[in-house]
Amino acid sequence: MGLQAMTYLVVGITFAIYIGIAVWARAGSTSEFYSAGGNVGPVVNGMAIGADWMSAASFISMAGLIANMGFGGALFLMGWTGGYVLLAMLLAPYLRKFGKFTVPAFVSTRYYSKGASVVAVLCLLAASGTYIIGQMTGVGVAFSRFLGVSNSTGIYIGMGIVFLYAVFGGMKGITYTQVAQYCVLILAYTVPAIFISMHLTGNPIPQLGLGSEFGHTGVSLLSKLDEVVTGLGFGKYTTQLPGSMLNMFVYTVSLMIGTAGLPHVIMRFFTVATVKDARYSAGWALIFIALLYTTAPAVAAMARLNLHATVNTAVLEDNGDLFAPESSIVYETRPAWMNRWEVTGLLKFEDKNGDGRVQYYNENSKDAAFQAKVAAAGWKGSELKVNQDIMVLANPEIALLPNWVIALVAAGGLAAALSTAAGLLLAISSAISHDLFKNIWFKDMTESQELMAGKIAMACSIVVAGYLGLNPPGFAAGTVAIAFGLAASSIFPCLMMGIFSKTMNKEGAIAGMLSGLGITMLYVFAHKGLFFIKGTEFLGLFGGKANFFFGISPNAFGAIGAIVNFAVAFAVKNMTPPVPEHIAQMVEDVRIPRGSKAVDGAH
């Protein structure tokens, strides 16, 4: 069976499974719509959390980022997994004991203020709305390549699939659909990695293959990769850093606390029956997540090496001359995978020296000796542009794996994007229908009316998400790290203070959330030059300089925003009325590790 037919078959089967599960597990009440009735088992919930957490960013982009950044890409592994540990230990059990459906519902009761709830909704929409752009973009990338449709058509199809199982199924349908999606995505990620690790190193375990001998060269795969990338003018793969060490540290912290503050992941802990089950869910989820996250570094390194070996045949030769004319492949005889990805626009070739061959190297290298070799070889600039998001999806094709493996990777990429998109959409719609409509604007709504409002809000959210995927804002295009920064600077501090500070009042919480979110968005916008006053860039004393705050990038600024949030919250708290006694007692009750009885602040 041809690749296209095989892809349609595999993707079609997985979509049929998702929709079938949604019909079987459709929500019939608000409890099932928001929290799956609160009776999901810890193993099932752990698997659903894994799918909810491992988004298109994890499946499609993370290995590409690591492949491009080298050692510095480890910040994504440390930040995202470390953040999940923070969530599991510091937030999930206590929020489950609190017994509310959503983060704004917790904020409303803990801070005894509808205004605090509204601010929490705004923070949730900012973080989740930005994050979902990356998911819809991932859907477009996967569809456009593997189903032979345009990026726009791919997003429309993705919107339709999510609508069918998310709107009708709610959290109950999404939970069981995500279990199936986890199975698809983890197989799609690990099976090609096993094949490629076996081919390159003879070791079928990718995690071990990363440090195993490359072929029969007598050197490890990582050593060979270091040799290749430095020979082509790139930074050393095993030591390369994204900017300064300070930026890497702050970036990692931002991802960690942003992860712990993501509303769509937090909501998953309300689907189990007890606090004990919430803890077990966290443990199982960490195991399921680790299967992909420990494989990602191997996938990244092997994809990077395979890419260079495809373009420059000398890579696979002992002491091969990377600058020899015959080592560069002839464009007209390029592999079929390159032609397929060129159609998507994510891989581009420009013959700058007119020799008909493909030269791929770091044309911006500052090494004078390397540039002298480039000039002697007659190269006029790197001729291949490779979007880092294609590294995982293209890797099986580059390695010439069977068509069914390539089709499985397509299904896995779509499963990762759709599973997280569904979780984000549910978080957004529940914030609108439950926290705004039911709790603030229309308090007399019946359960059936609230359920209908939730489904309508979900449908509207899907339309907005699709629009943002088709027309991504300039400040958020190409990254979801900013979403983590927004969650880190606004939601995480509010939750931490709500659980561990008996004295934090509503005024402090509101001021903290607004200041943390505001300063983070200001830095992102100002860095991108989106604010102007009479032709002068906003905050002109920075002069629009890139990373003007101690070299910290906008994607990493969430940690600084969180510090501002904490500082402002405690300063305002000390100048405003104290917390009511029953609220302080409620916080004390929440932290008692026994039982699962929900607290409500009523006494």
Q: Are residues 522 and 562 in the same domain?
A: yes
Find the mean pLDDT for residues 184-207.
Answer: 88
Residue carrying structure tokens 């400040």? 475
Handedness of CA 185, 189, 194, 199 (dihedral sign): positive
590 pLDDT more than 70 = yes
Backbone angles phi, psi at 72, to 5 degrees: -60, -25
Helices 221-231 and 296-311 pack at an angle, to 10 degrees, of 50
Query: If residue 368 lies in a helix (H) or strand (E), which one and from where to where?
Result: helix 368-377
Share of the chain above pLDDT 90, in %: 8
Q: Are residues 250 and 354 in the same domain?
A: no
Share of the chain above pLDDT 70, in %: 85
Among 325, 359, 390, the domain-final residue is: 390
CA 167 to chain centre: 22
Residue 324: other Cβ atoms inside 10 A? 13
The answer to the question of residue 42 being in a domain is: no
The answer to the question of residue 99 being in a domain is: yes
Q: Are residues 298 and 441 in the same domain?
A: yes
Q: Which of 241-245, 361-365, 389-393, 592-596 has the lowest mean pLDDT?
A: 592-596
Q: Are residues 56 and 169 in the same domain?
A: yes
Among 357, 390, 423, the domain-final residue is: 390
Q: Are residues 218 and 364 in the same domain?
A: no
The answer to the question of residue 41 being in a domain is: no
Find the mean pLDDT for residues 202-214.
Answer: 87
Report how far residue 50's alpha carbon sits from residue 182's, in angstroms, rounded to the nearest whole number: 7
- Selected residue with higher pLDDT from 472 and 505: 505
Q: Summarize pLDDT for 347-365 with one digit per residue, the tens.
A: 888 888 888 889 998 888 8
Backbone angles phi, psi at 175, to 5 degrees: -60, -55
262 pLDDT more than 70 = yes
Residues pairing with 328 in the sheet: 312
The answer to the question of residue 537 being in a domain is: yes
User: Of the segments 342-351, 491-500, 580-589, which one has the largest average pLDDT value?
Assistant: 491-500
Report how far residue 27's alpha carbon sits from residue 25's, in angstroms, rounded to the nearest whole number: 6
Confidence category of residue 480, pLDDT binned at 50, 70, 90: low
Query: If residue 589 lies in a helix (H) or strand (E), which one and from where to where?
Result: helix 581-590
- Which DSSP symbol is given to 348? E
Q: Which of 82-96, 289-303, 465-479 has the lowest mean pLDDT?
A: 465-479
- Which DSSP symbol is given to 357? B
Find the mean pLDDT for residues 579-599.
Answer: 72
- pLDDT at position 170 is 64
Mean per-residue pLDDT over the chain, rounded: 79
Among 369, 390, 411, the domain-final residue is: 390
Q: Are residues 339 and 266 in the same domain?
A: no
- pTM here? 0.79
Helix ranges, 25-148 (H): 30-35, 42-53, 56, 63-69, 74-86, 92-98, 103-110, 114-146
E-state strands within 213-285 = none
- pLDDT at position 37 is 53
Integer distance in angstroms from the first to the last C-alpha of the chain? 67
Helix ranges, 401-533 (H): 403-430, 447-470, 481-500, 506-527
Residue 356: other Cβ atoms inside 10 A? 12
Structure tokens at 262: 């993501």
Q: Are residues 524 and 539 in the same domain?
A: yes
What is the domain range of residue 116? 3-36+48-302+400-590
- Selected residue with higher pLDDT from 275 and 491: 491
Q: Which of 177-181, 286-290, 454-458, 527-531 has the lowest mean pLDDT?
A: 527-531
Report how far residue 402's alpha carbon sits from residue 494's, in angstroms, rounded to the nearest whole number: 49
Angstrom distances, CA of residue 220 to CA of 117, 227, 443: 54, 11, 65
The answer to the question of residue 500 being in a domain is: yes
CATH at 421: 1.20.1730.10
Report how far residue 276's alpha carbon sits from residue 41's, in angstroms, rounded to the nearest whole number: 11
Q: Are residues 289 and 340 in the same domain?
A: no
Cβ proximity of 70 and 308 under 8 Å:
no
The answer to the question of residue 163 being in a domain is: yes
Q: Are residues 296 and 311 in the same domain?
A: no
Report how far residue 305's alpha carbon sits from residue 215's, in angstroms, rounded to the nearest whole number: 12
Q: Are residues 486 and 565 in the same domain?
A: yes
Report how far residue 161's alpha carbon sits from residue 167's, in angstroms, rounded to the nearest whole number: 10
Residue carrying structure tokens 């509101």? 510
Confidence category of residue 489, pLDDT binned at 50, 70, 90: very high
The answer to the question of residue 602 being in a domain is: no
- Selected residue with higher pLDDT from 421 and 538: 421
Q: Are residues 373 and 460 in the same domain?
A: no
- pLDDT at position 547 is 67
Find the mean pLDDT for residues 231-257.
Answer: 84
540 pLDDT more than 70 = no
Task: Dump the DSSP string for 6-46.
Answer: HHHHHHHHHHHHHHHHHHHT---SHHHHHHGGG---HHHHH
Find the mean pLDDT for residues 203-231.
Answer: 86
- pLDDT at position 530 is 45
- pLDDT at position 439 is 67
- pLDDT at position 504 is 92
Report how far residue 603's alpha carbon sits from residue 600's, in angstroms, rounded to the nearest whole number: 8
The answer to the question of residue 407 being in a domain is: yes
- Which DSSP symbol is given to 61? I
Sequence letter at residue 404: W
Query: If residue 255 lies in a helix (H) or strand (E), which one and from where to where?
Result: helix 245-260
Backbone angles phi, psi at 386, to 5 degrees: -120, 115
Q: Which of 80-84, 403-407, 415-419, 593-597 has the lowest mean pLDDT?
A: 593-597
Q: Are residues 316 and 458 in the same domain?
A: no
Tell me how many domains the chain contains: 2
- Within 8 A by CB and 6+ apart from 321, the residues are 314, 327
